[in-house]
Amino acid sequence: MSAGTALAGFADPVLDSQAAFRAVLEAMSRPGRIQRLPVPPELPPGIGPAAAAVLLALADADTPIRLAAGAEAQAWIRFHTGARAAPAAEAAFVLDSDAGLLDLDPGTEEEPERGATLILEVESLSEGSGWRLSGPGIQATHRLAVAGVRDGFLADWAASRARFPRGVDVILCAGDRIAALPRGIAIEEG
Amino acid sequence: MTHDPGYNFAYLDESTKRMIRRAILKAVAIPGHQVPFGSREMPLPYGWGTGGIQVTASVLGPRDVLKVIDQGSDDTTNAVSIRAFFRRTAGVATTERTAEATIIQTRHRIPERRLTEGQILVYQVPIPEPLARLEPRIAETRRLHAMADYGLMHVKLYEDIAKHGHIATSYSYPVMVNERYLMSPSPIPAFDNPKMHMMPALQLFGAGREKRIYAVPPYTAVRSLDFEDHPFRPIRAPHRCELCGSGDTYLDEVLVDDKGGRIFVCSDTDHCQERQAMREAAE
């Protein structure tokens, strides 16, 4: 038994999964608005509370995962969800801050829903300043300040967005909070 | 309230919900695109809302307040049964008031009252593919969506005009979502189409038999297809509601005797009752 399997998942797997999903759904429907997730009581090293909650709620044996957090986190996710490890280019969920948006599976023109979901852990998220987001889900524009994304993210984002309907959806995580960037959203630097 | 312990919360098993939830998230990220999902057999026949009920079951939480309407009405068999189903399997509160609901499952209507940011509208969809009657091959319709090639639908609307002098489509009137995907709004009357445009609430669509989920995020452009010289016109019966007097809501025609007597009443029963109560209070 590896160490990861000794740690608990959600305290209430049914209702916590539902609440976490609803927060992700709200985040994806209203890009840039910050949502709070129920978090598991224990975490393996290398994975933040919100990122862990997203995976516990949504991953399973049908969703290969690329996890940069190490063997213990991998074993923990595997134990609680059944999801197996995969290279970034083949994964449905990617939690790897080194993974480039353009290196992940964007789906196909006919099956864009196969595009990956990138879960990015960042230093902080706040609304009201920073990036200007616009697109479906946003009435006019929405401001979101994100600290700790890698250089070149916005250039990659613009290139990824140009492939719509193919593309990668991003969930930004900081602590127990998330904000989502569905693939079609336009981002302007603030 | 608690749910019947003989069932998992909201009936579906957790792995099914997880699969449906992932489909819903991708549907929201690609507005108007139909996402395939592993539709389950439900304890009601196809055509009674198996798609809508699976979407509702996957979204619903214990603090939600559920409203279900069938053709605008809260008290038809389908609506009453689905509310009872979720009261039993999820223990959630149900309501007939549009304003109080957090999730509204609907068959063939959008409520008259403007929906808000805190609400999710779940449509029951019989035929999700807007091109189905024009192109029966699913592989081909997928290709047409991939290329955003919707000439077929324009030709169909044009033929309507050539034959009838106007666009003779009064329900399931095709829409463009965010100027990218052609989408069936489900068999709502064309009268309801303008309500979909920039709606503050999230709109989710579930087709159980056809195994498709699609979505319109809040504040998303939804345009009914038309032509410059034949603009889209939402149609309603040119009458007032016999019960509340409304002149701007969608009306049902009701036969009242066997001599051809008929009245028109609001299809949205909650809205109608609210207006009747306001009228009585004013008198």
Residues of B with Cβ-Cβ distance to A59 under 8 angstroms: 18
Kindly give the residue spans of alpha helices, DSSP state H, lying in chain B. 14-29, 50-59, 77-90, 138-146, 151-164, 193-196, 269-282
Over 90: is that where the pLDDT of A5 sits? no
Strands B35-36 and B212-216: antiparallel
User: What is the distance between the alpha carbons of residues A81 and A75, in angstroms, rounded to a whole number?
Assistant: 10
Token digits of residue B45: 């026949």
Every domain of chain A and the residues it spans? 3-188
The 10s digit of each residue's pLDDT in A83-105 is 999 999 999 999 999 999 999 99
Give the distance from CA A66 to its chain's centroid.
12
B239 touches chain A (CB under 8 A): no
Write the pLDDT tens digit of every residue in B7-18.
999 999 999 999
Q: Which amino acid is at B142?
A: R
Amino acid identity, position B257: D
- State the DSSP code for A169: E
B38 catalytic residue (yes or no): no
Catalytic status, residue B272 = yes
Question: Which A residues in the span 127-166 are in contact with B, Cβ-Cβ below 8 Å?
Answer: 135-139, 164-165
Contacts of A109 in chain B (CB under 8 A): 146-147
pLDDT digits (tens, 9 = 90+) for B112-164: 999 999 999 999 999 999 999 999 999 999 999 999 999 999 999 999 999 99
Chain A contact present for B202, CB below 8 A: yes
> How long, in residues, is chain A?
190
Residue B174 confidence (pLDDT) above 80: yes
pLDDT tens sequence across B223-233: 999 999 999 99
> Between chains, do B25 and A58 touch, taking CB under 8 Å as contact?
yes
- % of chain B residues with pLDDT over 90: 97
Q: What is the pLDDT of residues A118-167, one digit of tens each?
A: 999 999 999 999 999 999 999 999 999 999 999 999 999 999 999 999 99
Q: What is the pLDDT of residues B65-75, one digit of tens each?
A: 999 999 999 99
Cis peptide before B234 (omega within 30 of 0): no
Which class would CATH give A3-188? Answer: alpha beta
Question: pLDDT tens-digit profile of B45-63?
Answer: 999 999 999 999 999 999 9
What pLDDT shows up at residue A6? 82
Q: How do residues A24-73 score in pLDDT, each as one tens digit?
A: 999 999 999 999 999 999 999 999 999 999 999 999 999 999 999 999 99
Query: Within 10 Å of residue B148's Cβ, how many Cβ atoms?
Result: 13
Residues of chain A with pLDDT > 90, as a percent, come to 96
* Catalytic position from the list B206, B244, B247, B261: B244
pLDDT number for residue A2: 59
Q: Which residue in A has a C-alpha nearest to residue B213's C-alpha? A: A113
Catalytic pick among B32, B51, B206, B208: B32
Measured between alpha carbons, how far is B114 from B133 in angstroms, rounded to an integer?
32
Please state, in angstroms and as integers, the Cα–Cα distance from residue A187 to each residue in A11, A156, A184, B264, following that order: 37, 11, 10, 49
Q: What is the CA radius of gyration of chain A?
A: 16
DSSP letters, A101-137, are GGGS----SS-GGG--EEEEE-SEEEEEEEEEEESTT
Ranges assigned E (strand) in chain B:
35-36, 65-70, 93-94, 103-107, 120-124, 175-177, 181-183, 202-207, 212-216, 222-224, 251-255, 262-266
- Would you call B244 a catalytic residue per the annotation? yes
Structure tokens of A101?
Answer: 């948006």
Residue A1 has pLDDT above 60, yes or no: no
Chain A residue whose CA is closest to B58? A18
